[in-house]
Amino acid sequence: MHFLDQAKIYVRAGAGGPGAVSFRREKFIEYGGPDGGDGGKGADIVFEAVAGLNTLIDFRYTQHFRAPRGKGGSGSNRTGAGGEDLVIKVPVGTQILADDEERSLLADLTEVGQRLVFLEGGMGGRGNASYKTSTNRAPRQHQPGVAGEEMWLWLRLKLLADVGLVGLPNVGKSTFLNRTTNAVAKVGDYPFTTLRPQLGVVRHKGLEFVLADIPGLIEGAAEGAGIGDRFLGHVERTRVLLHLVDAASEDPAESYRIVRDELDAYGAGLEDKVEIVALSRADLVDEDRRAHIAATLEEACGSRQFTVSAATGDGVEPLLDAIAEALGHAQEEAEAEEPAGNWSPL
Q: What pLDDT, on the 0 to 100 scale, is given for residue 115?
A: 94
* Per-residue CA distances from 218 to 186, 257, 306, 310 (Å): 19, 11, 22, 22
Determine if residue 210 is labeled as part of a ligand binding site.
no
Where does the pLDDT of residue 191 fall: very low under 50, low under 70, confident under 90, or very high at 90 and above?
very low
- Give the HSE-up count for residue 260: Cα atoms under 13 Å, Cβ half-sphere: 17
More confident residue, 111 or 234: 111
Nearest alpha-carbon partner for 232 in 254, 205, 209, 213: 213
Domains of the chain in sequence order = 1-157 (2.70.210.12), 163-337 (3.40.50.300)
**What sign has the CA pseudo-torsion 306, 307, 311, 317?**
negative
Q: In this predicted structure, which of 57-61, 84-88, 264-268, 322-326 has the lowest mean pLDDT? A: 264-268
Average confidence (pLDDT) over 307-319? 86
Q: Is the pLDDT of residue 32 over 50?
A: yes
Asked if residues 218 and 252 have their Cβ atoms less than 8 Å apart, the reply is no
Determine if residue 309 is labeled as part of a ligand binding site.
yes
Where does the pLDDT of residue 190 fall: very low under 50, low under 70, confident under 90, or very high at 90 and above?
very low
Q: Is the pLDDT of residue 224 over 90?
A: no
Determine if residue 283 is labeled as part of a ligand binding site.
yes
Q: Exposed, middle or buried: residue 53 (CB in 10 Å: 0-12, 13-18, 19+)?
A: middle
Determine if residue 282 is labeled as part of a ligand binding site.
yes
In which element (H, E) is residue 295 found?
Answer: helix 287-301
Determine if residue 213 is labeled as part of a ligand binding site.
yes
Determine if residue 216 is labeled as part of a ligand binding site.
yes
Q: How far apart are the C-alpha atoms of 319 and 114, rounded to whole Å?
A: 34
Q: What pLDDT, on the 0 to 100 scale, is given for residue 334?
A: 61
Q: Is the pLDDT of residue 332 over 60?
A: yes
Determine if residue 314 is labeled as part of a ligand binding site.
no
Determine if residue 170 is labeled as part of a ligand binding site.
yes
DSSP state of 79: P
Determine if residue 174 is labeled as part of a ligand binding site.
yes
Q: What pLDDT, on the 0 to 100 scale, is given for residue 55?
A: 84
Q: In this predicted structure, which of 47-61, 150-164, 258-272 has the lowest mean pLDDT? A: 258-272
Give this prediction's pTM: 0.73
Q: What is the pLDDT of residues 12-29, one digit of tens each?
A: 999 999 999 999 887 777
Range picked from 119-128, 157-166, 206-215, 273-282 for highest mean pLDDT: 119-128
DSSP state of 197: -
Determine if residue 253 is labeled as part of a ligand binding site.
no
- Assign 212 to helix, strand or coil: strand
Where does the pLDDT of residue 5 fall: very low under 50, low under 70, confident under 90, or very high at 90 and above?
confident
Helices 287-301, 252-266: axis angle to 10 degrees equals: 30
Phi, psi dihedral angles at 323 (to 5 degrees): -65, -45
Determine if residue 228 is labeled as part of a ligand binding site.
no
Q: What is the pLDDT of residues 94-131, one digit of tens each?
A: 999 999 888 899 999 989 999 999 999 999 999 999 99
More confident residue, 68 or 31: 68
- Give the HSE-up count for residue 302: Cα atoms under 13 Å, Cβ half-sphere: 4
Determine if residue 192 is labeled as part of a ligand binding site.
yes
Mean pLDDT taken over the chain:
83
Determine if residue 66 is labeled as part of a ligand binding site.
no
Q: What pLDDT, on the 0 to 100 scale, is given for residue 147?
A: 95
Determine if residue 344 is labeled as part of a ligand binding site.
no
**What sign has the CA pseudo-torsion 180, 186, 188, 193?**
negative
Between CA 70 and CA 77, with CA 71 as vertex, the angle to 5 degrees is 120
In which element (H, E) is residue 292 found?
Answer: helix 287-301
- Assign 250 to helix, strand or coil: coil
Determine if residue 173 is labeled as part of a ligand binding site.
yes
Q: Is the pLDDT of residue 346 over 70?
A: no
Q: What pLDDT, on the 0 to 100 scale, is given for residue 230?
A: 62
Polymer length of the chain: 346
Range picked from 37-41, 227-231, 281-285, 306-310 for highest mean pLDDT: 37-41
